[in-house]
């Protein structure tokens, strides 16, 4: 793998140490999720699955999970639709002020989330709208759309225009061409975008914290539980489940992205996609 040109490869050693640093907090989740003790500290004191049972029996948590799923699914769908139309426009057409428009749409990527949250809150207050799950969706769509665009624009850029032209020449309508040629070709990118935006929305806390009404999302629920030491082990169990779920979704998203690249006959190992 690494070129062993002169002596030990210090860069490899460093990279491995860095990975240990990156994974240090994450590996603790499963450890404490199955640890038979009410305090989250070492030494570990035995194996148990009772914290998962506790989760199963906590009603408030189920409500939060349901709310989060509603928010995450809605945000992912809307953000991906908005992202697809923007990505298509960017890849296919030239139009005035393109750079400025794209830059503005991508702006939430570099705005501190608290600014986005506070701004939306002020507007909702001024309009006299009450906070609900839909206000959270509105905020999440805003921050998810740039990610959707980033993922989808590589899918649309790789699209061979002559295929669409051939379809039109052969008598398909515009809509028929979109449905039978364009969509199947970019579908893996669409799925990958749905999965990524779903994951982002599911984990987003700051905007949800400001814009949530009486129905809380999962991260807001977790935040409220972190104050109670007795709740911590079950929160660890919850975290372990979320971790497993996120990794699964990510692997799926990556698999779809590579399939998209493979369909268009491109090198799938390129770093594109997420950023």
Partner 1 sequence: MALKLSSQERQGLTLISPTLLYALVMLAAPLLMVATFSFWTQNYLEIDRTLTLDNYRAAWGEPIYQVLLARSLRISVIVTVATVLLAFPVAYFLSFHVKKRKALWLFLITVPFWTSYLLRVFLWKVILGYNGVLNSALLNLGLIDEPLTFILYNANAVVLTLAHAWAPFAILPIFVALEKIDRSLLEAAEDLGDGPVRRFFRVTLPLAMPGVVAATLIVLIPTVGDFITPKLVGGTDGLMIANMIQIQFGKANNAPLGAALAVTSMLTVAAISLIVFLAGRRLGGRVKP
Looking at residues 233 to 272 of the shown chain, list those that interact with partner 1 (rule: CB under 8 A): 235-236, 239, 242-243, 246-247, 250, 254, 268-269, 271
Do 270 and 205 touch, CB atoms closer than 8 A? no
Which residues have a Cβ under 8 Å from the Cβ of 167 and sit 6 or more positions away? 176, 177, 180, 181
Q: How far is the CB of 186 from partner 1 (least distance, A)?
A: 14
By CB under 8 A, which span of 22-30, 46-54, 59-67, 184-192 interacts with partner 1? 22-30
**In the complex, minimum distance from the CB of residue 3 to partner 1, in angstroms, rounded to a whole number:** 6
Contacts of 44 (CB under 8 A, 6+ apart): 31, 32, 35, 37
Query: Does 88 interact with partner 1 (rule: CB under 8 A)?
Result: yes
Tell the smallest beta-carbon distance from residue 25 to partner 1 (Å).
4
**From CA 49, how far away is CA 54, in angstroms rounded?**
9
Residue tagged 């919850």 (tokens): 238
Residues 153-192 interacting with partner 1 (rule: CB under 8 A): none
Of 66, 223, 259, 266, the one binding partner 1 (CB under 8 A) is: 223
Residue 80 binds to partner 1 (criterion: CB under 8 A)? no
Among the listed ranges 15-23, 49-57, 62-70, 162-170, the one in contact with partner 1 (CB under 8 A) is: 15-23
Candidates 36, 53, 56, 115: give the one binding partner 1 (CB under 8 A).
Answer: 115
The end-to-end CA distance of the chain, in Å, is 25
Do the Cβ atoms of 146 and 106 come closer than 8 Å?
A: yes
Q: How many residues does the chain have?
A: 275
CB of 135 to partner 1, least distance (A): 10
């Amino acid at each position: 793998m690494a070129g062993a040109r002169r002596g030990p490869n210090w860069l490899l050693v460093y990279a491995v140490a860095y990975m240990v640093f990156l994974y240090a907090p994450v590996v603790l989740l499963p450890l404490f999720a199955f640890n038979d003790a009410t305090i989250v500290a070492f030494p570990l004191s035995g194996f148990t699955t009772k914290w998962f049972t506790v989760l199963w029996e906590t009603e408030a948590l189920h409500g939060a999970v349901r709310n989060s799923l509603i928010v995450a699914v809605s945000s992912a769908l809307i953000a991906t639709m908005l992202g697809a139309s923007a990505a298509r426009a960017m890849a296919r057409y030239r139009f005035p002020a393109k750079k400025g428009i794209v830059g503005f749409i991508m702006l939430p990527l570099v705005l501190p989330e608290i600014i986005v949250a506070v701004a939306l809150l002020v507007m909702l207050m001024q309009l006299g709208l009450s906070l609900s799950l839909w206000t959270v969706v509105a905020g999440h769509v805003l921050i998810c759309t740039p990610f959707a665009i980033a993922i989808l624009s590589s899918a649309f850029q790789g699209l061979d225009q002559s295929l669409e032209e051939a379809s039109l020449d052969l008598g398909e309508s515009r809509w028929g061409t979109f449905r039978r040629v364009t969509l199947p070709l970019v579908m893996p990118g669409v799925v990958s975008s749905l999965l990524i935006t779903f994951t982002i929305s599911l984990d987003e806390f700051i905007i949800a914290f400001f814009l949530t009404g009486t129905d809380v999302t999962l991260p807001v629920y977790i935040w409220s539980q972190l104050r109670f030491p007795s709740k911590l082990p079950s929160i660890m169990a919850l975290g372990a489940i979320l971790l497993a779920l996120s990794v699964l979704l990510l692997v799926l998203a990556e698999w779809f992205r590579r399939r998209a690249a493979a369909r268009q006959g491109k090198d799938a190992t390129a770093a594109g996609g997420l950023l």
